[in-house]
Structure formats: structure tokens, C-alpha cells
Chains A and B, each alone.
Chain A
Amino acid sequence: MSQWLPIEQIARSVNSGELKAQDLVKQSLKSISDNKDFDAIISTLEDNALKRASEIDKSVATGKTAGRLAGVPFIAKDNFLVFGADTTAASNILRGFQAPYQATAINKLEAEGAICVAKANLDAFAHGTSTENSDFMTTKNPHDKARVPGGSSGGSAAAVVLDMAPFALGTDTGGSIRQPASFSGCVGYKPTYGLVSRSGVVAMASSTDVIGPLARTVEDAAIVLDVMSGKDPLDGTTIEKQDGYVNASGDLKGLKVGVIKEYMKEGLSDGVRQVIEEAVSKLKAGGAEISEVSLPSIDMALAVYYIICPAEVSSNLARYDGQRFGYSDPEATTLEASYKLSRGHGFGKEAKRRIMIGTYVLSSGYYDAYYKKAQIVRTKLINEFETALKNVDFLIGPVAPTTAFKIGENISDPLKMYLCDIMTVAANMIGNPAISIPAGLSENLPVGLQVMAGKSKDKELLGVSKQIEEILA
């Protein structure tokens, strides 16, 4: 049983004075300290959080209300710029970096009374599927300490499952919210591309990066999304939000749901297959019209991703040059040497790997064969999804081919690690919303069910997800 009430109830109780924001922050900080050995948290914002909580309590005492998230503690992945703590992106090169401004998402949450209590671990710069690429530490899976929590938002997922806060923030570039949600056992929501401002979040692959919540329930995730989303002048790619993310309702009866054929093929582990097949049967029993849908190019999504993502990474990480912020190598005597040494010594291996791949696929003579080809296959993927979603309302399948793997199992083989993203990257390449909902356990390890919807159908996806969550519970 979670120590946290549903978010809506927490806020209501804080606004009525029944609960004190200060007690909620203390409760969250205690839970963080009690679970220290899971290495989910990079830093806490104790002073700032308690100060904000006391302000909220005082404001409520004078008869004011403090917003839709009044007093609700949360944990941000450490690639969000937040006042009061370093923003490291779990990288040595950004160690000690202090945010001169805050992420729009954080500002919006704070404006509704939410309180950031801590920053969560991730694969450095969000490059990875296990948090093993963090330059600081590997987070442990809440269900089995010998296993990874998933990644890159592994610290955020573990924090939610370990009950450190009612919700956490993550970023999803190729599956980094959904895959750890599946491995650790919580809800992970990847919104439509552009729905949440990326301003103040360390950039990875700008054409696929999205920000989303990890929470205990779909409704909690929906409230957080509702607060964070919408157009932002600081991010030119943001789109208008829609009404009705909160209390969205959906009826499974008569709903057309397509099971993605390619995701259920050989390669899917038996345990995951069993949980997913059971979930599909339950949806069918709940009245959904289940069919099998083939997306022939979906298997190419990972190859598309591992060209486009490193290409954008190599460009976004060019700003870490050792001059304006971040690590600057003390041995360098010339500017050129300072670039090379600061980057060479400051970046971890995976960041360097991706910068190198990105540099290669964008270089003269290879651009058309790799980068342009990937962008064209991306179009093909978009077309196939559009066609499929004309015939069905939602697409479902597993989030990942396996449950959480052991720490160290894949670390020596980058390609093998990349393959963990095989079922999540498609949603990022096409920009559509997708969610991971806890579907059950396989050998005591969580398995998530992935549900995908048409572009900007976030309200519909949240509505049906609540139905699915209920049926699978």
C-alpha cells in the first residue's frame, strides 16, 4: 500500500488545512533517506522544499488556496533545470552546474503548489536503458536489487515505486519513461511530441525528446500532464493542450484495439508474452474488439532511431566545450586542446560513442546514405501508423521484450543495450503519445503494457488507460 493518497486528494486536503505541506515534504524526505541504498536520488532540495512548504501552509492558513497540486512533493529527473540543486544530467561534465533559470515544466508545477524535493538518477544525458551509463551510480530495481530499474529515467521510476513521492518527472527520447516504468512497475506517460515545453531540460535528441510523468496511477499522471502541458514561448515546438486530460473517461466496449503483430513475434521473452497475452484477454473480456495489426516497417524504427538520435546528440552536446559552463580540463594550454581534453575527459563513454556515431552519419559523403535515409524511413513509419490508426482506435503491445535485466548483463555490449529500446522508439519517431501501464508480474518482476494512440489523442489515451488500469488491477 502506498503511503500517498491520490494527488487530487492530497492537494484538496492541503488546501483545506487537513494536511500540512511541511509534513508531506518531511514524509517524502524520510522515504528518500530510508531508501538511500537504491541509489535513485542524486541530490535533495531539503531547504528549498521545506521553505516552499511552509509558505504554502501559511498561505492556506490565511484562507487562500495553493493550487491544484498544493503541497504535493515530486522528484525531477536530474536533467531538469531546478533552482536550489545542481543540474548534472548524471554526467561528470555538468557536475556542479547551477541552473540560472528553471524549466518551464517545473515553473508550471510550482505555480500549482507542487514542491520539488529531489533530483533523480539517470543514464548520463539520458543515454541508456538501465541507469548504468550514469557517471555517478547505478540505481537498483525496487523489486530486485541485483537488477536495473530501466532507463534512462530509472531513478524517477524507482523513486515512484519506492514511494518517495507521489510522482516523478522523466524524459522520453526513445522509451526513457515507458521502459523504466515497465521494469520498475509504475505508470509512465509519453505525451504527444510538443505537448510539454522542453525549455530548461537538458537536450538529447530534440526532434524526439518529450517530457512526461511517472506516477502510481493513470489519473495522477493525467493531473501532472494537465498542469505541465501547453504552448510555451520559450519552446517553439510546443503545441496547444486540450481540455479533459483530467477525469478523462473511456469505454472499452466496442473499442477497436490492435495488437502489434511484430512485437509479439519470436524474441519476446516467454514471461512477458504470457503477461501481455493475459492482458489482451482481459481487454477482450472487457468488451474491446481485438485484432492483430501489422506495421511492416516497425522493426526498422530502432535503426532509424540509432541514426537520428546520435546525429541530434552530437549536435546538442557540442555546447559542452569546456568554456562557457561545465568541466574545463586544467591541463589544456590552448583553446583547441581545451575543447578536446574537456570533452574527452568530461564525457562518459556512452556520450562519446553517440557523439562519434552522430558525427559519422552526418559527415560529408555519408549523410544521404545514413541520416537522410533514416528520415525517409521515418516517413514510411509515420504513414504505416496513420493507416493502422484509421482501422483501430489504439495499438497495444509490450513495452520491452524482457523484464528488468541484471546489473552488468548488457553493459559491455552497446548494441545489445540499444536493443532494449526496440519496442518503444517507434512512438518517438512518429511523435504519437504512448503509455506503459503495469500489467502484472513475471517471476516477481513487473511487466508493462504499452498503449499507443494517434497524434494529439492524449485525452483519449488517458481515458482508455484508466479503463485498462482498472481491468488489469
Chain B
Amino acid sequence: MSPPPTKLLLCLPSLLEHSKLKTIHLIAKRCAKIRLIMAKLSRDDILKLALLARLDLTDEEIEEFTVELSEVLQYVELLQSVDTDGLKPTNQVSGLTNVTREDEEIDYGYDPHDLLKNLPAVEGDLIKVKRMIN
């Protein structure tokens, strides 16, 4: 079978109508099946990601994210159909490279006590954290 048609994306704004959205989801899912990467996330995938991202999630969130994130990933997978032979990646669009400044001390006038004001826990002028090992 051929890769997902670009036509699929050309009608994407119509997803704003819910009935059409469902149809597109079906098409997207069908297309996803024929591709190398199948972005169907399992509960374990979500738990692993949550661990990597240091996020404590509720059971409800885990369930929701399993469905929602799979949908989003299936959508972005449409990029696999784009021919990008010979092209290099773009990291940034400022056109600037190697922005440097003189290696000298600059006084920005920040008061360290203003910075400490926002700390959840301090001891003197130090950041206080919970114990690291059990």
C-alpha cells in the first residue's frame, strides 16, 4: 500500500467540525497501521514517559493521555510521508551563529535576596531540599 495521501492533511481544518473529525481520526488510524512507526501508546509507555519527565500522574490522567497522546502522535506522523531527500534539519531561524560576548563580570543589579524570595524552602542563604537517598 502507498503511504498516507497528503490529501488527508489538506482537509484538516475541517476537523473543527466534530463529525468530520471522527472520520479523519479513522483515516489517520488506518494510515498509521500501514506505517513503520505505530504511535499507539500503552499504559506502560505513559508510565515510562511520566517517570522520565518526573510527573506524578493520576490514574485518570494516565488513561486520558494514553488515548490523547496516541492521537496527537498519529497526526504528527503524517510527516513521514514528506519527501525530504537531500535536506538538512533547521535548528533555529535567527540566522546568527556563535554569539559571544567579552568574558567579563557584568553587574545586572540583581539582589540575591530578591532571588531567594521565591524559594520554597531556604536555610540562611541556601536552598533547602528534601533528602536524596532513602
Please, which residue of chain B has its CB at the minimum distance from the CB of A317?
B53
Contact of A325 (CB < 8 Å), options: B64, B89, B101, B120: B120
Q: Which residues of A contact B73 (CB under 8 A)?
A: 357, 360, 370
Q: A267–B11 contact, CB under 8 A?
A: yes
Query: 8 Å CB contacts to A: which residues of B38-54?
Result: 41, 45-46, 49-50, 52-54
Q: Which residues of B contact A239 (CB under 8 A)?
A: 94-96
Contact of B84 (CB < 8 Å), options: A356, A370, A376, A422: A376
Q: Which residues of A contact B115 (CB under 8 A)?
A: 100
Contact of B79 (CB < 8 Å), options: A344, A352, A374, A420: A374
B1 on the A face (CB < 8 A) = no
Specify which of B46, B61, B93 lies most central, judged by the most chain A CB atoms within 10 Å of its CB: B93
Q: B93–A334 contact, CB under 8 A?
A: no
Please, which residue of chain B has its CB at the minimum distance from the CB of A349?
B61
Q: Which residues of A contact B69 (CB under 8 A)?
A: 353, 356-357, 360
Contact of A303 (CB < 8 Å), options: B55, B57, B76, B90: B76
Q: B118–A97 contact, CB under 8 A?
A: yes
Q: Which residues of B contact A207 (CB under 8 A)?
A: 91-93
- What's the Cα separation between A450 and B58 when bound, in Å? 41
Q: Which residues of A contact B120 (CB under 8 A)?
A: 322-323, 325-328
- What's the Cα separation between A383 and B9 when bound, in Å? 20
Query: 8 Å CB contacts to B: which residues of A46-62?
Result: none
With A357-B69, A415-B71 as known contacts, state yes or no: A343 contacts B16, CB within 8 Å.
no
Q: A328–B121 contact, CB under 8 A?
A: yes
With A334-B132, A340-B54 as known contacts, state yes or no: A379 contacts B110, CB within 8 Å.
no
B59 on the A face (CB < 8 A) = no
- What's the Cα separation between A121 and B129 when bound, in Å? 32
Q: Which residues of A contact B94 (CB under 8 A)?
A: 193-194, 237, 239, 431
- What's the Cα separation between A401 and B13 when bound, in Å? 6
Contact of B90 (CB < 8 Å), options: A335, A347, A359, A375: A375
Interface string of B91-134 (1 = CB under 8 A from A): 11111100101000010101100110111110000010111111
- What's the Cα separation between A352 and B13 when bound, in Å? 25
Q: B78–A324 contact, CB under 8 A?
A: no
- What's the Cα separation between A301 and B21 when bound, in Å? 19
With A334-B132, A380-B84 as known contacts, state yes or no: A98 contacts B56, CB within 8 Å.
no
Query: 8 Å CB contacts to B: which residues of A306-330?
Result: 306-307, 314, 321-328
Contact of B118 (CB < 8 Å), options: A100, A355, A357, A372: A100
Please, which residue of chain B has its CB at the minimum distance from the CB of A305?
B76
- What's the Cα separation between A345 and B54 when bound, in Å? 11
A6 on the B face (CB < 8 A) = no
Contact of B57 (CB < 8 Å), options: A297, A352, A373, A413: A352
Chain A to chain B: the 8 pairs with minimum beta-carbon distance, closest first? A344-B56, A267-B13, A431-B93, A328-B120, A375-B89, A401-B13, A267-B14, A325-B118
* B interface residues (Cβ-Cβ under 8 A, vs A): 6, 9-16, 18, 21, 37, 41, 45-46, 49-50, 52-57, 61, 64-65, 68-69, 71-73, 75-80, 82, 84, 87-96, 99, 101, 106, 108, 110-111, 114-115, 117-121, 127, 129-134
A-B contact list, 16 entries, CB within 8 Å: A306-B75, A306-B76, A307-B76, A325-B118, A326-B120, A333-B131, A336-B132, A337-B130, A340-B54, A353-B65, A360-B69, A361-B76, A372-B89, A378-B90, A379-B84, A415-B68
